[in-house]
């Protein structure tokens, strides 16, 4: 819950040499403080209830800003007033766990981003066990599962995974699963070559986790063959495949096993919650299902409305045309009977669509179990490639198209004409499998399982898809919702002033220039000093570009809406640190050799700058 307290003072003294006006100003100020204080007390009482949401650390107070910021008398008066207000505000920075406190911590963080593409400093500080929010639908708590359920072999493959993150994945499984349901946990090291990960994990499990079997592939296989390698060692009733950077949520396993017990041809997935790669914050995902496009990229899409008509539908199995691939469970015998995975696929990609098509076309079905939730660290890039640099996503997709898609593969080639002549290895065994299992046609699949998928009806439509595909980075970078496409929710408007000075944070270049650094300049009420704070804790200059805590020097970037380096915390409004959770550092300005450049500094540095957020009330004046 966010508290918005708006106090407006109409007009204001232009000159403060009038004694009378001064008295009026002082008494109005004190009245405001008393009102604010009493509301704050009331607010904190409301928030002390057990079921109340966390109050926001931000208290938005629109207050009087002297027209002439250089008038000393006014600044002092206003400072005193702001300090009084600040005392009423919460002092704690949120998620200090990400705060970089030393050069060594900085090194861990940088190295982690390089090797794993997530914030390992935060991950290490979280340890092997942590609480996460129970993100399930309220009805899930009342679900009853049979006492006797099939046993699970949990298979987790990893290549160069961060040790803490991997062990927290394993511990979360042990901590949040009924003991009798875990037959074994198999960790498959896909021939990692980073640090000493294999020996460390082996040594740890030997001493602390005897239920875990650690195996290593003789050479790098890629996730598809590594999973097959793990599955061959398994002996439980059900195989549960998980990624190596996950945390399972409360009672995640029972819904999966119960459904498979009920129907042995169900292949089931949890809802995949989001663990932020920069902050490790755990947030729920909405109930969405899997689809794909004609470039053979997996995509999330809304569950058709007729699937969700009443409250109980949110806890029942939801049919899904495809799955994301990282996390699912199926009966071990059924996995083998259905042809395991396509061992001709390399490293990463496409295997999720292959298995999805195969399940549906050969007599099974794919379902999401909404009461099972597992968090997954979504990274902005994959920190590894194929050893020979091969584009394995395209190669694997070609195998999918040629084995499973019949004539519909032409649509893939319309979108990906470049793929037509690439080699994809021998598929004869997979074609034979399809024949032996007497699988249905792709046409049947589209008509019965995924009628919502539209065909590119014309040449124009194919070209549109092709262009769209080409606009995407083939490396698989996610596209973000454009800034202008969403409702902006501004909660305040400030100038950011260095405490004890008349210097404010201003863009070096024009407010529209991406990549512009920030400098300290005399405070003036100009566009290039007007920062708008959004409900997502972004600081947006002149409602255009976001303050981005990249590297040593923050700069202006296009707002990407993913939090991380564009998310800023400040516990108060005066003499406050402005902390970037993902960078782990604070806004600073203390190195004269850099001129007046605004920098990112260790928050613990005694010289780290303190800031006053001077709330601007009046309409912007044009830049001179
Ligand atoms: N993986 C593997 N060998 C590889 C590539 C990936 O064992 O050559 C593992 C990886 O460590 C992870 C899982 O396979 O546990 C899925 O890979 P990743 O998380 O990179 O895929 P994403 O979640 O980005 O789709
Ligand atoms: Mn993953």
Q: Is a pLDDT exceeding 60 seen at residue 40?
A: no
CB of 234 shorter than 6 A to ligand 1: no
Other Cβ atoms less than 10 A from the Cβ of 448: the count is: 11
Distance 512 CA to ligand 2 centre (A): 36
> Could you read off the pLDDT of 204-242 as tens digits, one per residue?
999 999 999 999 999 999 999 999 999 999 999 999 999
Instruction: Find which of 71-80, 81-90, 453-462, 526-535 is predicted with most confidence, using mean pLDDT.
Output: 526-535
Distance 429 CA to ligand 2 centre (A): 29
pLDDT of residue 306: 86
Distance 325 CA to ligand 1 centre (A): 10
Name the 3-class secondary structure at 7. Answer: coil
pLDDT of residue 560: 81
CB of 349 shorter than 6 A to ligand 1: no
Cα separation of the two ends of the chain = 39
Nearest CA to ligand 1 atom 10: 158
Nearest CA to ligand 1 atom 13: 243
Q: Which atom of ligand 1 is nearest to the CA of 220?
A: 8
Ligand with minimal distance to 386 CA: 1
Per-residue confidence band for 573, with pLDDT thresholds at 50, 70 and 90 = confident
pLDDT of residue 317: 97
What number is the average pLDDT over the span 254-277?
97
Helices (H), 47-177: 72-87, 103-116, 120-126, 163-175
Look at residues 560, 566, 564 and name the one whose alpha carbon lies nearest to residue 531.
566
CB of 166 shorter than 6 A to ligand 1: no
CB of 78 shorter than 6 A to ligand 1: no
Residue 281 CA from chain centroid, whole number: 8
* Test site for ligand 1: of 243, 392, 475, most ligand atoms within 8 A of the Cβ: 243
Burial-class residue 309 by CB neighbours within 10 Å (0-12, 13-18, 19+): exposed
Look at residues 348, 375, 377, 379 and name the one whose alpha carbon lies nearest to residue 117.
379
Q: Is a pLDDT exceeding 60 seen at residue 35?
A: no
Distance 207 CA to ligand 1 centre (A): 26
Distance from C-alpha of 599 to C-alpha of 123, rounded to nearest angstrom: 25
What number is the average pLDDT over the span 520-542?
93
Nearest CA to ligand 1 atom 24: 382
Q: Is a pLDDT exceeding 50 seen at residue 594?
A: yes
Q: Between β-strands 246-248 and 531-534, what pairing exists: parallel, antiparallel or unpaired?
A: unpaired
What number is the average pLDDT over the span 382-411?
96
Per-residue confidence band for 597, with pLDDT thresholds at 50, 70 and 90 = very high
CB of 351 shorter than 6 A to ligand 1: no
Distance from C-alpha of 155 to C-alpha of 163, rounded to nearest angstrom: 17
Burial-class residue 127 by CB neighbours within 10 Å (0-12, 13-18, 19+): exposed
Q: Between β-strands 539-541 and 545-548, what pairing exists: parallel, antiparallel or unpaired?
A: antiparallel
> Could you read off the pLDDT of 301-317 as tens digits, one per residue?
999 888 888 889 999 99
* Test site for ligand 1: of 155, 157, 166, 378, most ligand atoms within 8 A of the Cβ: 157
pLDDT-wise least confident of 48-62, 94-108, 379-393, 559-573 = 48-62
Q: Is a pLDDT exceeding 90 seen at residue 21?
A: no
Ordered by where they begin, the domains of the chain are 249-378+392-483 (3.90.550.10), 490-614 (2.80.10.50)
Distance 204 CA to ligand 2 centre (A): 23
CB of 158 shorter than 6 A to ligand 1: yes
pLDDT-wise least confident of 34-38, 128-132, 418-422, 510-514 = 34-38
> Could you read off the pLDDT of 539-563 as tens digits, one per residue?
999 999 999 998 889 999 999 877 8
pLDDT of residue 481: 37
Other Cβ atoms less than 10 A from the Cβ of 398: the count is: 24
Distance 63 CA to ligand 1 centre (A): 51
65 close to 497: Cβ distance less than 8 angstroms: no
pTM score of the predicted model: 0.78
Q: How many CA atoms lie within 13 A of 294 on its CB side?
A: 25
Nearest CA to ligand 1 atom 19: 243
Round the average pLDDT of the chain to a whole number and report it: 83
> Could you read off the pLDDT of 82-120 as tens digits, one per residue?
555 445 444 567 778 889 999 999 999 999 999 999 999
Look at residues 237, 238, 242 and name the one whose alpha carbon lies nearest to residue 156.
242
Ligand with minimal distance to 227 CA: 1
CB of 165 shorter than 6 A to ligand 1: no
């Amino acid at each position: 819950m966010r508290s918005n307290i708006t106090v407006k003072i109409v007009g204001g003294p232009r000159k403060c040499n009038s004694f009378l006006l001064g008295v009026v100003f002082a008494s109005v100020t004190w009245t405001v403080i008393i009102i604010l204080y009493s509301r704050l007390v009331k607010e904190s009482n409301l928030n002390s209830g057990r079921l109340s949401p966390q109050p926001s650390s931000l208290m938005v107070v629109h207050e009087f800003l002297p027209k002439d910021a250089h008038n000393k008398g006014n600044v002092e008066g206003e400072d005193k007033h702001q300090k009084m207000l600040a005392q009423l505000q919460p002092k704690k920075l949120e998620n200090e766990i990400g705060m970089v406190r030393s050069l060594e911590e900085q090194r861990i963080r940088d190295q982690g981003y390089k090797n794993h593409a997530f914030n390992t400093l935060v991950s290490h500080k979280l340890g092997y066990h942590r609480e996460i929010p129970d993100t399930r639908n309220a009805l899930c708590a009342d679900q009853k599962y049979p006492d006797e359920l099939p046993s699970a072999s949990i298979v987790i493959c990893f290549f160069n995974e961060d040790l803490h993150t991997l062990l927290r994945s394993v511990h979360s499984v042990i901590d949040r699963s009924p003991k009798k349901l875990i037959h074994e946990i198999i960790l498959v090291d896909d021939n990692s070559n980073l640090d000493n990960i294999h020996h460390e994990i082996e040594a740890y499990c030997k001493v602390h986790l005897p239920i875990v079997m650690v195996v290593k592939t003789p050479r790098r296989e890629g996730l598809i063959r590594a999973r097959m390698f793990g599955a061959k060692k398994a002996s439980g009733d059900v195989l549960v495949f998980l990624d190596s950077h996950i945390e399972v949520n409360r009672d995640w396993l029972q819904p999966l096993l119960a459904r498979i017990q009920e129907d042995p041809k169900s292949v089931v997935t949890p809802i995949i919650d989001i663990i932020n790669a920069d902050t490790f914050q755990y947030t729920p995902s909405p109930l969405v299902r899997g689809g794909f496009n004609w470039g053979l990229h997996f995509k999330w899409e809304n569950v058709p409305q007729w699937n969700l008509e009443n409250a109980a539908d949110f806890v029942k199995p939801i049919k899904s045309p495809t799955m994301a691939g990282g996390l699912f469970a199926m009966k071990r015998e059924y996995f083998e009977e259905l042809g395991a995975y396509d061992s001709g696929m390399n490293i990463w990609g496409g295997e999720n669509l292959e298995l999805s098509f195969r399940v549906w076309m050969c007599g099974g079905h794919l379902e999401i179990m909404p009461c099972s939730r597992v968090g997954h660290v979504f990274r902005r890039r994959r920190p590894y490639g194929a050893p020979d640099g091969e584009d394995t996503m395209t190669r694997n997709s070609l195998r999918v198209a040629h084995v499973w898609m019949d004539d519909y593969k032409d649509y893939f080639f319309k979108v990906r004409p470049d793929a037509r002549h690439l080699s994809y290895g021998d598929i004869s065994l997979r074609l034979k499998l399809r024949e032996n299992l007497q699988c249905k046609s792709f046409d049947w699949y589209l008509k019965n399982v995924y009628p919502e998928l539209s065909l590119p009806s014309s040449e124009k439509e194919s070209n549109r898809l092709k262009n769209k595909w080409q606009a995407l980075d083939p490396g698989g970078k996610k596209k973000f919702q454009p800034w202008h496409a969403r409702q902006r929710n501004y909660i305040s408007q400030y100038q950011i002033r260095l405490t004890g000075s008349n210097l404010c944070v201003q863009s070096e270049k024009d407010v529209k220039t991406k990549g512009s650094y920030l400098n300290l300049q005399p405070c003036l009420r100009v566009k290039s000093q007007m920062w708008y704070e959004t409900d997502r804790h972004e600081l947006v200059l002149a409602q255009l570009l976001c303050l981005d805590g990249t590297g040593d020097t923050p700069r202006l970037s296009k707002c990407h809406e993913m939090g991380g380096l564009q998310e800023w915390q400040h516990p108060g409004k005066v003499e406050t640190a402005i902390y970037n959770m993902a960078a782990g550092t604070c806004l600073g300005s203390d190195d004269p050799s850099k001129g007046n450049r605004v920098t990112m500094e260790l928050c613990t540095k005694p010289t780290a700058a303190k800031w006053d957020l001077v709330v601007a009330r009046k309409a912007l004046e044009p830049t001179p």
